[in-house]
Structures are given as C-alpha cells and as structure tokens.
Chains A and B, each alone.
Chain A
Amino acid sequence: MAFLDINNVVKRYEGHTALAGVSMQVPQGCIYGLLGPNGAGKSTLIRIINRIIAADEGTVTLNGKAMTDDDIVHIGYLPEERGLYKKMKVGDHIVYLGRLKGMTKADAVASMHWWLDRFDLKEWENKKVEALSKGMQQKVQFIATVIHRPPLLIFDEPFSGFDPVNAEQLKVEILALRDQGSTILFSTHNMASVEEVCQQITLLNHSHVVLTGSVDEVKQQHKKNIIAVQSPDTIEPNAALFTLLPPDPVKHDTRIKLAQGVQVRDAISWLNEHYRLTGFTEVLPSMNEIFIETVKSKNNENNG
C-alpha cells in the first residue's frame, strides 16, 4: 500500500484540462520526483494534494485513508513561489506557521529554537524578516515547512535560488528527514538533483503521466545499448556486432553501439580477443536526456 496514493485525478479549468486522469503511488519513506515541463500540471497536482484546490474526479489517499481537510496538518509544503510576511519577526513567523499546522505554542517555540540553531540563525530570531538576506529567508521558509515534522513533505523546486553551499546543506537536511521516516514529494526541473536524491519518479507532460518508475528502472528502459570502451588500440567497427559512435568530447573514450540483438558479453569477448581491452562501462542515459527525449517524442506524437 502506497503512503500517498493518487488515483485517476482529473482537474479541468475553463478552456483546458490541467490533469487528465493522473495516477501516482508514492511509497512510505521515499523521495519521489514529480517531473515535467512548465505547464504539465505539476503545480495543480500539488495543490490538489494540499487541498488548496479540489479535484473534479479521482481520489487522493494518505496512509490508506481518503484525505480530508484535517489532513493538511500532516503535510509540509514549500511552494515554488514562496514568501514571508516581511514585517514579522523571524521567530514569530515560524511559530505562527507551525501553530497554523496545529502545533501548540510551546512545541512550536521549542522546535523553532532547535531549527534556528541548526541553521545558524539564532541571533536573527527577533529581527524582522525583511532584514534577512535572500538565502537566509529561504532557510526560514524551509524551517517553516518542516517545523511540525509532517509525515509527508512536498518541495516544489526547493533548490532554486540557493547557492551551492546552502543547496548542499538543504539536501543533507532533506535526506535526514527521509531517514527519520518522512515521505518526500519533490518537484523540480533540475535533473541533476533528481539523480542525486530521488528513488522514484513520475514524469508529467500535457496533463498526462508519460513515465513512471524507479530511477534505475527508467534508466534501464531508456538505455541505448552503448558501451564506453577503454583501449590503447584503435578499434575498428564490426558490422555484425557493433557500430562506432563519435568519441565522447570530454572523456575521449571509444563509444560503440551494439547491433540489434547482440548481448553485451558477446561484443566484449570479441573485443577482448582482438584488442587490448583495459576497461568498459555500459553508458546509461542521464535523467536529463530521458526527460528531453520523452517530452519531445510525446510532443511529436501529439503534433503528428
């Protein structure tokens, strides 16, 4: 049973359909990537999970029970476009959002102190939000999202605007929350961060799910049977087994593409017999390539 189960969700607006029957199963304790180009319907889906807007059809189940408005206290949500009340004091602001999520005042204050300490923001507790740098404001937003330790966290482009040092700190905190049992839904365009933190993904395009599964599975499905081969010799093509690809512009290794139906080990044993082979690696596509390829081919289908 998935922790968060989205089943055939449909959302229509005047003139267009934002979600056309989207289903998605997010297992407990997983970091789950929700990917897709702009306008694919990610934000709509996230708002439906957060109960900011209502789905026209379909169900959202959290921990085996259909979600109600009371369940929003079990979610922490960091929207893509996020802000703070500029005139409020940092500490008051975090406590306010924590209490809105149902914490008692004492719990919220204690938790606020713990997190400010952890992010080195202790001396800013009584300063107004507007006095903080952008990076510090983003940390405050993060704290306000996780302060009530929700079992489900939703981050929409969490790293946008962070410098590399702070982004790394944020990543460490997100992984720590996962290890403590939180389930994390992670929406982003940044495919590098997907490879680093996500175990499973769903790719939305034009209101539909076009790709879903674990990161490894998806990569296996999209591999092109390309092998990078290291050898001091110059390798000649062998039409029966493989063709040569242009060398990788960065690594200068030799790249071969296996012919239809040829197994990796057949090609490697043949190469090993004829050349001095020092190493080989199967080249898997990056999530970035898969994203672009999938979105482009689906768009072509739609256009054709």
Chain B
Amino acid sequence: MLSVTPDILTDLPWGQLLVNGLALGSLYALTAFGIVLIFKTTRVITFAQGETAMFSTFVAFTLLTAFQLPFAVAFVLTMLFAGVFGALIERVVIRRISTTTVLNPVIVTVGLSLILLGAAGWIWGYEIRTFPDPVVGPPFHLGTVVVSQLNALIFLVTLVLMTVLFAFFRFSPTGIAMRAVAENRMAAQLMGVSIGRMNALGWGMGTAMGAVTGMLIAPINYLDPSMMGDVALKAFAAAVVGGLTSLPGAVVGGLLLGIVDSVVGFEVPELRNTIAFALIVLVLVVRPGGLLGRHETKKV
C-alpha cells in the first residue's frame, strides 16, 4: 500500500490534491483563526470551538428548512447569532471563572462543548441530516483539475473574510484596540480600552468564524451533533502549529494541515491522523513557538 517510489511526485494528481487540500485547509484555517482570536483576546484556550460551530450550524439549518430563508440570508443571520452566542458565553461564563490556573478554563470549555453536544442532540436529535448545498451546478475545470462549486465558494468566503479581518485589525480603531489588549492588557486598559468589551468581541468574532466553517462543511460532512469533532481537532492542531498567538499562523497551519490531510488521505488513508500529528510534534520540537508564533519565555 505504501508505495513511496521515486516517481511518486509525478504519479500523484497533485493539482487535484492541492485544490481539495486547500479547500479543507481553508475550513481548518477559519476555525483555527477563531481559536487564536479567542486566545489572544482572553488568554483562554477554547475547546468548545467545534461545538459552538456545530450548534450554530443547526441554527442555520433551522433557518434554512423551517423558515425557508435563502442561503445568504441564513448565512449572515447565523454569523450574527454565533457572534452574540460567543459574546454571551464570554459574559456569562468565561469572565466569571478564575484564570489563575490554566486548568479552570480548559475544564469549563470542555464542559461547554459537552453541554452543547447534549443540547443539540436533545433539540435536533442524533440522526444524520443532509445540509442544503449553498451552490449547485456543474464543477469548474482547470485543465484536469476539478473545482466543485462548493470548494470555489469556500475559497471565496475564506478570502473575503481574511481580507476583511486583516483590514479590521489593521485600520479600524476597534481592531487596533483588540490587538492592544492582546499585546498588553494593562497598558491597553490604561489607555482607556474596555477589556471586557474587547473580550466579548473576541469571543463573538471567534465563534462566528467557527459558524462559517460549520455552514460550509455541513454540505460535505452532513449535519449531526458530532459533525465538528474531527474538524475541530484539526483546527486546534492548526492553531498550535501556527503558534497560537499568531493569526496568520493559524491560517498557514490550517492550510498546511488541509494539504497533508489530502495527500496522505490519498496515499495512505489509515495514516491520515498519524502523519498529521507526527508533523505537529515535529514542528513544535523544532520551533517551540509554532511556525509563526513567538516563543514566550517567562522570567522567574
């Protein structure tokens, strides 16, 4: 099965593997971006990113089927819902827990993910549902490479979101304030930035990013409470590989993992996770701060 021959480079359908990998990687990147955003603003590593995304996707499903809204409308409404949902989680739960130990937020967010898993199962059931395709129609052909309409949409949405977010953090006063909080909470506070508002905003935006992933992956992976398990794990890994403190790092990590997933999944599918995580260990051994992160050392 594992046939690593010299002509492997020419044997593989690289173009197609790359397109598939980048599409999957874009989704990992969006989720990872949310994780990093939340970490940077609130210093909490969230393990609930997958489940908030799943829950939001069920909300989108309800808007699409019960209310028969057009996809674009449901998409925007769900992003808004997820934003409020994330901000509420921050206000009601995260803000009140002590972060004196790293373990508290970990347990709380793991707990949140289990609560959401159970709640979704209770409200919508555990059966596997199909999620409406946002785009239908014949795929695009680039030479021998096939790009499905959904993959094209995934690229488009990722590109637009990343550009908007880049501009937001670069040019808008709120974005700059958020970056200031991430850099130095105390200094930001002294400059008059409301830490609480920035924290809620970070959670809201991070959760909305996850919701986008959920809505774009559900047409492929189907909709059920466990739909985000694998994706969230990979996104988490992408965030760590990228450096946890670096937003571009999350994107690079996500795309990288997507491509690894695609190529290894083609050649030796049973080793997909093994090789992905071996790579992560390798990156962290060689560059403890991640690909684009800063290695933070504390002075005793």
B partners with A? no
